[in-house]
Amino acid sequence: MTINEERVLKHTLQSVAPFAQVFVVDSHSTDRTLQIAEAHEAEVVQFTWNGGYPKKKEWALLNLPFKYEWVLYLDADEMVTPKLAVQLAELMRTDPEHAAYDVELDYWFLGKMLRHGHRVTKRVLLDRTRAVWPHVDDLGVKNMWEVEGHYQPLIDGSIGRLTGTLHHNDRDPLFDYFARHNRYSDWEAHLAEREPLAKSVQGARTERGKRYARLPLKPLAFFFYSYIARRGFLDGRAGFHYAVAHAFYFWQISAKRLELRRNTKAVVDVRSGTSKSVQSPSEQQTL
């Protein structure tokens, strides 16, 4: 899946070209993304989001002319490692035991691959005939966009786990990293404040994701978990800044939840006709 990914796409395509039929599902990129995709003989398909469902991942599953039943989902900044490529080859030569497989990410931050700290797991390999993407009620989130949020496809069957990893190295400046987190934290806050919706998304997350969602004091708990318990300090400054950045992300979610509650209460007060005294600017300054 791409939109203006000229910094990273070459590395991703090189990691899968030897063994896969490759589709680049693009959202009308304006940089060199398409030229890079074509140079690596990937089939480019344009996706235009209409503001509803299906979103990009589901649309790809439903509409691409696949030759095979097994699909590997990759973001443009994710690369298949040699170990994972060998495992995929072995798996495809047999009758896979499971209907889908989870894979861990080797995450790069500030130019360094993190070998410790928090690990991200994604459900990226699946039998497309036994997988569906859930529709969650998130279209009303102000800053929501065309790609599914932090949840996994639903699988009709068992789910395995591969020991090979994906390299996640987006090579984008931190401005883009924090912009994504700002958008995702809107989505997470929206979910957390709507209990039925939160429960439905929880069912489509990995077991680790479900445990994280239940953590109290999540910003502090995450920093302790990633930097101390998971020895993120061994990754030096990159490990420290990664733990802080993620802890700040969870703080964003908690602050935005308070904002949502405040805005909801204000709407209820107005609709119920409740009147409240409002201080003048001079009175506020005096206080």
pLDDT in tens, 196-215: 666 666 655 556 655 666 66
Q: Is residue 286 part of a domain?
A: no
Specify the amino acid at residue 160.
Answer: G
Tell me, what's the pLDDT at 267? 61
d(CA 81, CA 29): 26
**Nearby residues of 62 by Cβ (< 8 Å), 6 or more positions away:** 54
Q: Is residue 244 part of a domain?
A: yes
- The structural domain count of the chain equals 1
Q: Which domain holds residue 163?
A: 9-269
Tell me, what's the pLDDT at 286? 36
Tell me, what's the pLDDT at 275? 47
For 94-121, how does the pLDDT look when each residue is reduced to its tens digit (9 = 90+)? 889 999 999 999 999 999 999 999 999 9
The structure tokens 């395509």 sit at 13
| Torsions phi, psi for 182 (to 5 deg) | -65, -40
d(CA 153, CA 100): 9
287 residues of the chain, pLDDT tens digit each: 999 999 999 999 999 988 999 999 999 999 999 999 999 999 999 999 999 999 999 999 999 999 999 999 999 999 999 999 999 999 999 889 999 999 999 999 999 999 999 999 999 999 999 999 988 888 888 777 899 988 889 999 999 999 999 999 988 889 989 998 998 899 888 888 887 666 666 655 556 655 666 666 889 999 999 999 999 999 999 999 999 999 999 999 999 999 988 887 766 566 666 544 444 444 444 33
CB 66 within 8 A of CB 128: yes
Q: Is residue 280 part of a domain?
A: no
Q: Is residue 115 part of a domain?
A: yes
Tell me, what's the pLDDT at 187? 87
Closest to 150 measured CA to CA, from 119, 185, 177, 106: 185
Tell me, what's the pLDDT at 278? 43
Q: Is residue 211 part of a domain?
A: yes
β-strand 159-168 against 100-109: which pairing, if any?
parallel
Closest to 213 measured CA to CA, from 177, 253, 263: 253
CB 77 within 8 A of CB 109: no
Tell me, what's the pLDDT at 216? 67
